[in-house]
């Protein structure tokens, strides 16, 4: 229904899980949460059509959506967790170093902050090689990318896509492969990437200058740090951090392929491959 359902290849991952063509996923009959947030799962840039279903990652998001008048919210779990059910198993190679995700902007809002100061903090903290994973928005900025290239390996998982154009359907596959190479996952803001890293077996950390978006609602950013203290810090306790991360991703709520096809309005689609 909404083009954001294809962001990061989410619809493609769910289609593959359901045994459908991952290159041409059917239309999802509703709105799929495309990133972790602390409101109703949709985000401020999504124009909601009243009465349409919302498919959210966690029970906590479903409750918030209900409180905001979104009464058709269903918990499905994050697409990343579905990918983990059918992705090839990780290699036996030892994990090393940290994959670091600097807080990023997007088309509608640019991030402001001192990248050099953040990099210095990172290099003073991490005890192994650091891979800096920039969001496409910053990766295309030569000035910002150059700052990180001075300090270590710099990558980008791909383009999120927009209006059904240029979507990298393997975005999450690229991300999973990189996460499995590293012992730690870290960022200066709590984000989807940190949760994904935990699900993929990394130790999490959230520290450093949090930076800010243009016209950002600062109280919300502060609330995140207060509400999830167990995920913040340079070396948080891994067990409480993992419990919180999996709760936010909807661990325990994954549907079977048949159930998911019914939820998303795909029950009439003909399977092309064996479901996960």
pLDDT for res 263: 96
- For residue 95, give the DSSP letter: P
Question: Is 92 within a domain?
Answer: no
Query: Does residue 184 share a domain with residue 70?
Result: no
Length of the chain: 276
Query: Does residue 254 share a domain with residue 242?
Result: no
Tokens coding 46:
């999504």
pLDDT for res 218: 76
Question: Is 83 within a domain?
Answer: no
Higher pLDDT, 241 or 44: 241
Query: Does residue 160 share a domain with residue 37?
Result: no
User: What pTM, to 2 d.p., does this model score?
Assistant: 0.94
Question: Is 18 within a domain?
Answer: yes
**Position 276 confidence tier, pLDDT thresholds 50, 70, 90:** low
pLDDT for res 237: 97
pLDDT digits (tens, 9 = 90+) for 106-144: 666 677 789 999 999 999 999 999 999 999 888 999 999
pLDDT digits (tens, 9 = 90+) for 82-105: 999 999 998 877 899 999 999 987
- For the ranges 5-9, 24-28, 40-44, 166-170, the lowest mean pLDDT is seen at 40-44
Query: Does residue 214 share a domain with residue 118?
Result: yes
Higher pLDDT, 206 or 41: 206
Helix, coil or strand: residue 132: strand
Question: Is 69 within a domain?
Answer: yes
Query: Does residue 255 share a domain with residue 224?
Result: no
Name the residue range of residue 22's domain.
Answer: 3-78+250-264
pLDDT digits (tens, 9 = 90+) for 35-79: 999 988 887 667 778 889 999 999 999 999 999 888 899 999 999
For the chain, give the percent of residues with pLDDT over 90. Answer: 73
Query: Does residue 230 share a domain with residue 104?
Result: yes
pLDDT for res 164: 82
Query: Does residue 129 share a domain with residue 193?
Result: yes
Higher pLDDT, 110 or 251: 251
Tokens coding 51:
């009465």
Question: Is 12 within a domain?
Answer: yes
Query: Does residue 166 share a domain with residue 150?
Result: yes
Query: Does residue 243 share a domain with residue 107?
Result: yes
Question: Is 91 within a domain?
Answer: no
Query: Does residue 234 share a domain with residue 104?
Result: yes
How many helices and strands (H and E) does the chain possess? Answer: 11, 10
Query: Does residue 153 share a domain with residue 23?
Result: no
Q: How many domains does the chain have?
A: 2
We report the CATH number of the domain holding residue 122 as 3.40.50
Question: Is 276 within a domain?
Answer: no
- φ/ψ of 36, rounded to 5, equals -65, 135
pLDDT for res 214: 73
Query: Does residue 221 share a domain with residue 162?
Result: yes
pLDDT, mean of residues 214-225: 81
Helix, coil or strand: residue 184: strand
Closest C-alpha to 32, from 18, 51, 52, 16: 52
Determine contact, residues 245/204, Cβ cutoff 8 Å: yes
């Amino acid at each position: 229904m909404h083009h954001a359902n294809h962001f990061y290849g989410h619809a493609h991952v769910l289609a593959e899980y359901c045994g459908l063509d991952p290159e041409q996923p059917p239309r999802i009959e509703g709105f799929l949460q495309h990133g972790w947030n602390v409101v109703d799962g949709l985000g401020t840039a999504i124009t909601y059509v009243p009465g349409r279903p919302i498919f959210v990652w966690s029970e906590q998001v479903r409750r918030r959506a209900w409180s905001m008048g979104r009464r058709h919210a269903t918990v499905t779990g994050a697409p990343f967790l579905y990918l983990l059910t059918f992705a090839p198993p990780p290699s036996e190679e030892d994990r090393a170093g940290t994959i670091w995700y600097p807080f990023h902007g997007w088309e509608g809002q640019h991030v402001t902050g001192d990248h050099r100061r953040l990099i210095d903090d990172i290099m003073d903290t991490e005890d192994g090689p650091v891979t800096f994973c920039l969001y496409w928005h910053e990766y295309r900025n030569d000035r910002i990318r150059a700052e990180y290239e001075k300090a270590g390996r710099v990558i980008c998982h791909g383009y999120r896509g927009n209006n059904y154009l240029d979507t990298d359907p393997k975005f999450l596959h690229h991300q999973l492969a990189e996460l499995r190479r590293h012992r730690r996952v870290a960022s200066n803001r709590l984000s989807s990437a940190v949760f994904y890293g935990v699900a993929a077996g990394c130790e999490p950390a959230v520290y450093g200058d949090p930076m800010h978006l243009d016209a950002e609602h600062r109280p919300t950013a502060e609330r995140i740090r207060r509400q999830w203290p167990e995920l913040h810090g340079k070396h948080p306790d891994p067990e409480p951090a993992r419990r919180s991360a999996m709760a936010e991703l909807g661990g325990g709520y994954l549907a079977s392929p048949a159930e998911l096809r019914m939820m998303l309005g795909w029950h009439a689609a003909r399977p092309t491959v064996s479901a996960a």
